Structures are given as C-alpha cells and as structure tokens.
C-alpha cells in the first residue's frame, strides 16, 4: 500500500502547488513563471544534494534512463506545465485542475503499449469513475456555464486537454525510467535530472520564449511563491510519484494521483470559501470511490 499512499501524497502536493501557481500567475506570464519555477527549483534540489553529500547520485542512472528522464522533462515540465499555467490563468484552478487531471485515461493507453502492464477491469473502472468525478467537478451552475462558454469551451479547454495528453506521455516515460533503477536514490536523481534538463533549456532559450524577459522583472513575493510551488510539486510531488512507481504498477498509481480535484475542491471550500453545489459533492464522492476501487483490488 506504500505505492498507493505515495500517489495520493503526490495528488495532495499538486493541489497545494496549483493554488500557489494561481496566486503567482495573477502577477506574471505563464512562460516567465515556468522559467523562474524550474530554474530556482532545480537550484534548490542541487543544493539539497550537495548539503546531504548525495550529489554523486546524479551520475548513477544509466544513459537510457537519463534520456527517458530528459525527454520526460521536456514534454511534461517544459511543454505540459507551461500549457497548465496558461490554462490556470485563463480559466482558474476550479476548472483547469479537473480538466488537466483527465491524464489517467491517456496514461492507461501508454503503459499498456510502452510498458506492457496489464490493465485490469477494476483499475480501468476506477480510472473511469475518477475522470467522471473530475468532469462533474468541472461543471458549474447555469449562470457560470454561460460565462464558461467564453473561456472553457474554446482555447481554455483545448489547452487544458493538451496539458493532460502531454502529462500522460511524460508520466509514462518517467515510470519507465524509474522501473529501470528501482531505488529511492536513483528515483530522486532521475527527477532532479529531468528538472535540470528543462531548466537549462529554458534558461538558454529565454530571450526567444520570453521575449520581454518577464522572468527578470518579477516581484520578490511572486518569485518566492513560484519557488514554493516548484518545491512542493516538482520536488515532493514527483518524488512521491516515483516512489509509487517503485512499489506498484503505473496503471494503479496514476489514477490515484489524479485525485487532485477532490483536494482542490476541499481547499476551495475551506480556504477560498467557494460555494458548494450538488455537482461538487457528487464529483468528490466519485473520485473517492474510484480511488478506493483501485486501492482495494
């Protein structure tokens, strides 16, 4: 059960980071935010390795694992997370998070094709129930639906779905990399390598991808918020997901990790004092039911 609980911990971590990202994005552009987040988070992770005398673990993974980690970082953290931040800025946490968290359905296909993992009926059913719950959480009342037609049913929805697809590919490749070297030291190294790769790539291409160099003009408060979100999401969240890949199958871990909308709904109620409707309650219940379906089999 360690793997399943680690995946659930990843979902909670990504809920916290989504709230932090949304706050930071009110003051900066998504591309600028991602450059700062990746660069400074990679620096923090490197400092941690130096302080703990573990810097040598970066040289331990074999070449094929490093390549998988690098490509996973480019696809998921570079392209996917930039689109995620764009969707957060366009349509907000309560809509962007549920739509982007449909990635388990895509991931089930990749793990079957790339990793050859068996997809049982119970795991598939749990994933479908979770995604249906996510869909319910993305719906609002009649008045909000009219407003959403201008935002979600257009670029916002397309960007969020594209994020889910990219994340599913990135997660599948990350899972393959971790399975090649199934120990915690290598898992941390793999996660750090993928973050470093895209951070360096973004730093080099910054004048092109962020023409106004907005990442150099951020307020200190915004930078701190992005660092906090990066450490929680990339450092803790992805490390917990790596642990879950070591202990259990991707086809079990990934659907559980997508329970983020349940926690984002609870955070909205408790922290942001958002209104609760029947769809919110039913969606949350379905997500819990889907998670338990995967847990109990």
Q: pLDDT tens digits, residue range 205-242?
A: 888 888 777 788 888 999 999 999 999 998 899 889 88
Of 291, 45, 77, which is closest to residue 187 (Cα–Cα)? Answer: 45
Q: pLDDT tens digits, residue range 195-204?
A: 888 888 888 8
What pLDDT is attached to residue 180? Answer: 78
163 — pLDDT class (breaks 50, 70, 90): very high
| Residue 154 pLDDT > 80 | no
User: Is the separation of the CB atoms in 283 and 136 below 8 Å?
Assistant: yes
41 — pLDDT class (breaks 50, 70, 90): very high
What pLDDT is attached to residue 166? Answer: 94
| Residue 147 pLDDT > 60 | no
* Span of 109-113, 142-146, 288-292 with lowest mean pLDDT: 142-146
297 — pLDDT class (breaks 50, 70, 90): low
What pLDDT is attached to residue 84? Answer: 92
What pLDDT is attached to residue 230? Answer: 92
Q: Is 278 exposed, middle or buried (0-12, 13-18, 19+ CB in 10 A)?
A: exposed
13 — pLDDT class (breaks 50, 70, 90): very high
Q: pLDDT tens digits, residue range 247-279?
A: 887 777 887 887 787 787 777 677 766 666 777
Q: What is the mean pLDDT of the chain?
A: 81
What pLDDT is attached to residue 222? Answer: 92
How is the chain split into domains, by residue range? 2-295
What pLDDT is attached to residue 83? Answer: 93
What pLDDT is attached to residue 224? Answer: 93
144 — pLDDT class (breaks 50, 70, 90): low
* Mean pLDDT (whole number) for 94-118: 76
Q: Which residue has the higher pLDDT, 246 or 145?
A: 246
pTM, 2 dp: 0.80
Q: Which residue has the higher pLDDT, 183 or 106?
A: 106
Q: Which residue has the higher pLDDT, 276 or 187?
A: 187
What pLDDT is attached to residue 278? Answer: 76
187 — pLDDT class (breaks 50, 70, 90): confident
Cα 52 from chain centroid? 26
Q: Which residue has the higher pLDDT, 142 or 90?
A: 90
């Amino acid at each position: 059960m360690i793997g399943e609980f680690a995946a659930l911990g990843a979902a909670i971590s990504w809920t916290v980071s989504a709230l932090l990202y949304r706050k930071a994005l009110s003051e900066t552009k998504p591309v600028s935010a991602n450059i700062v987040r990746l660069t400074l988070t990679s620096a923090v992770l490197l400092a941690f390795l130096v302080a703990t005398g573990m810097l040598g673990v970066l040289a331990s993974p074999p070449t094929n694992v490093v390549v998988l980690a690098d490509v996973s970082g480019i696809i998921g953290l570079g392209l996917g997370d930039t689109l995620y931040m764009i969707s957060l800025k366009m349509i907000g946490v309560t809509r962007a998070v549920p739509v982007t968290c449909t990635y388990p359905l895509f991931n089930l296909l990749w793990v079957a094709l790339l990793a050859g993992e068996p997809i049982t009926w119970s795991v598939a059913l749990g994933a479908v129930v979770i995604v249906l719950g996510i869909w319910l959480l993305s719906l609002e009342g009649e008045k909000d639906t009219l407003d959403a037609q201008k935002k979600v049913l257009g670029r916002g929805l397309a960007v969020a779905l594209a994020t889910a697809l990219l994340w599913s590919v990135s997660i599948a490749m990350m899972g393959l990399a971790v399975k090649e070297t199934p120990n915690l030291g290598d898992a941390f190294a793999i996660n750090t390598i993928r973050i470093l790769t895209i951070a360096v790539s973004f730093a080099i291409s910054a004048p092109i991808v962020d023409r106004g160099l907005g990442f150099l003009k951020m307020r200190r408060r915004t930078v701190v918020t992005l660092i906090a979100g990066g450490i929680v999401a990339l450092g803790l969240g992805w490390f917990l997901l790596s642990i879950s890949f070591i202990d259990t199958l991707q086809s079990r871990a990934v659907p559980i990790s997508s329970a983020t909308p349940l926690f984002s709904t609870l955070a909205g109620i408790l922290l942001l004092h958002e209104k609760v409707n029947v769809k919110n309650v039913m969606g949350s219940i379905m997500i819990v039911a889907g998670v338990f379906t995967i847990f109990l089999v």
